[in-house]
Structure 1
Amino acid sequence: MDIFSEVKEHLTARQVAESYGLYVRRNGTACCPFHDDRHPSMKVDKNYHCFACGVGGDAIDYTARMYGLSQYDAAKKLIEDFNLSIHTETMSKKEKEKLHREKEERMRIIRIKKRFSRWRRKTIELLKKALVQIDDSGQVLCAKTPDVTFSDNYAMMLHAEPIINYWLDILCMGSEQDQKELFIQGRKEVENIAGNVSKWHRSIVERCRESA
């Protein structure tokens, strides 16, 4: 029996995927790590298959695809990582260090992707809330006398509205590159403006209550 068959006798794709950081649900589904998967489209058991992007294979194929290795190097990595009692030539220290660096880099990328995904969902809700607050402020002021209606805070909210809509367009319909650029370069500004809108809204509501 060759090392490929021996490795597959010892390991399933699910064991390997979970060991390398993939969260697999109880029903055996997971978000595919090989494309921007927002909903679980991969089935993982003895083998794996993604119904969205079409990739699939066994434990060795998963490892090769995950780390950009040849099938043979992927088999050697599994033997090393899982301490399998399968004979193969001993990895050199340099090879082990290379595989370790590749694993660490892959895990770093996975962590960044998860952080970005959480930020994107949270920011969409934050910006939608800001738009609701701008609309609500306008409704509140509309029923007031001219001396109350004039509001610097509301003027600043209206000034912020176009950029909020622009950011929402990027996060909901923009390219992955544009979304990542906003995440890397613009998230502080997004949070600041959304926070200011919330503060201005509270100020307008309180002022209108006092004038009632």
Structure 2
Amino acid sequence: MTVNLTAELTAARILAVIRGTDTAGAIAAGTALLEEGVRIVEVALTTPNAASAVEALRAAAPAGSLVGAGTVLTAADVADVAAAGAQFVVTPAVVESIPEAARRGLPVAAGAFTPTEAYTAMRMGASAIKLFPVSVGGPAYLKAVRDPFPDIPFVAVGGVGLADLPGYFAAGAIAVGVGGPLVGDAASGGDLDALRQRARAYLAATS
């Protein structure tokens, strides 16, 4: 069954972005996030053996959770993550993986920064737009880009700290994607207890 990514992101509000230097660390971080109640996690393909991490997290994920792959650039990347069981894909830019994922029935949060890129990505089959790097312009920029496209679902990604959440939600983001400020060094074998504490704080801020 195809996931309604927009509805899931709107309900969850948080997309955790796991980008590490160690496969086992990425799996441990993803497992901790899922155990703490973060419902949607993305493993970036810059993580070593990322497809294996996606597969492991899919196997361990609680019912109602989603595990996807990020930094998905090519048609070959889409094939790899689909085989690993990814339930959605995320891109950093307007790239060939968008129509390929859509063709396979995998929903895509496509990376874009300008109105033209956002519109183009949606025409290519994206389900939502990952406005990245959103910290360059902040909530005011998100609002400005969204104004002419009220029907495009935007996810604010890139340098989104805990204190930034209210501003992005007020500007119209359906969700925020959070990597470093949430995951820290946990995906590279770092502090999982600190990760769990940050996860609880982010979830509390969206409840």
TM-score (normalised: structure 2):
0.26
Structure showing greater radius of gyration is: 1
Looking at secondary structure, tell me which structure has more helix per residue. Answer: 1
Report which structure shows greater RCO (CA 8 Å, sep ≥6).
Answer: 2
Looking at secondary structure, tell me which structure has more strand per residue. Answer: 2
TM-score (normalised: structure 1):
0.25
